[in-house]
Amino acid sequence: MADNLIQFFLTVLALSISMAGLASLISLFKTAAEFTLDEIFVFRSIILFSLCVGLAAILPLSLLVLMIDDDLVWMICSGLYALTASILLLRLILEARSGRWVIVYKWNAFAVMTLTALLVTWLITNAIVFKKPDAYVVGVIWGLVVIGIRLYLFLLTITDLRLKKKYRSKWLLYMRSENKKISYKRRF
């Protein structure tokens, strides 16, 4: 059982690092000057949540090496993971309520906030009631799913806003050229 848990948590650690790396690849879609403060915040929060999941994967390994009581290990791990996830959730809520975000980011944030709140509730329940490794594993997998959904929504938002900006500028150029033709025709 312990060997399977070690392999699982090391795999989760590798996945969370990979997702943080994938988040940094999104920056290839834009130059640094084109990023808005909202996009930088979302980008950083994805990387922070990846770090949170990575730490959640390392923590049980270090506590299991100390050979303390298993129930205590899962209670401590679930409690600390819930604490870090709730801090990141609070940070996301405060940023979303600041009023600076584009509506698309608010809807993405709402989806992520809901999933993260459910994750925190699950982890607190595991820390208080279950104290089992299986419930903690579900929480860690849930964290990876939240990161994946967040990356997907962020990538969609960036490409969608970029396409709208591109086609809006082409449309404006077209309308300006049409207005010049019309005004030219009206003169004669």
Structural domain count, the chain: 1
Q: Is pLDDT above 80 for 93?
A: yes
pTM of the model: 0.79
Q: Is pLDDT above 70 for 183?
A: no
Count of CB atoms within 10 A of residue 163's CB? 10
pLDDT, tens only, 15-55 = 888 888 777 766 656 655 677 777 778 888 888 898 899 89
Distance, CA of 76 to CA of 138 (rounded, Å): 16
Average pLDDT, the chain: 81
Domain hosting 158: range is 2-187
Radius of gyration of the chain (CA): 23
Distance, CA of 163 to CA of 155 (rounded, Å): 12
